[in-house]
Amino acid sequence: MSKAKALIIILSGQDSPIKVKLGLNVAWRTKNSGAFEDVKLLFFGPGEDFIAKTDDKEILEAYGEVLKNNIIPQACVAVADGFGISAVLQEKKVELVRAGQRIAELMAEGYQPITF
């Protein structure tokens, strides 16, 4: 039996940092455990603004675990440009993509979206 593939989308931001932390933890823990065949991570809207600007130690630690587990985070280039955070996200090793197109591609490849 094949395993599902997960697309973790973090939409929450400063208004709900616990959701950001949960999304990050689900991403790296399920990748590490083999619960899913594969895990992708996409920050969108307030989520990408938050990850660019946060100094929350627990969230930064969870984000570090994402990177250690070979998950390449992505974020919407249009939103990043609009918030003026493109350079900061790229410094944090976030790949900027056209989010709508990327979500459609991943869903066509069988990834199931899970939002936080």
| 107 pLDDT more than 80 | yes
CA 83 and chain centroid, separation? 17
Chain-wide mean pLDDT for the chain? 97
pLDDT-derived band at 1 (thresholds 50, 70, 90) equals low
| 37 pLDDT more than 90 | yes
Q: How far apart are CA 25 and CA 9, in angstroms?
A: 12
Neighbours of 49 (CB within 10 A): 22
Question: Which domains, and CATH codes, for the chain?
Answer: 5-115 (3.40.1260.10)
CA angle at 20 for the pair 19 and 25, rounded to the nearest 5°: 95
Residue 113 DSSP symbol: E
**What is the per-residue pLDDT across 6-29, written as a single tens digit (0 to 9) for each?**
999 999 999 999 999 999 999 999
Do 6 and 30 contact (CB within 8 A), yes or no?
yes
* Phi–psi pair at 83, nearest 5 degrees: -85, -10
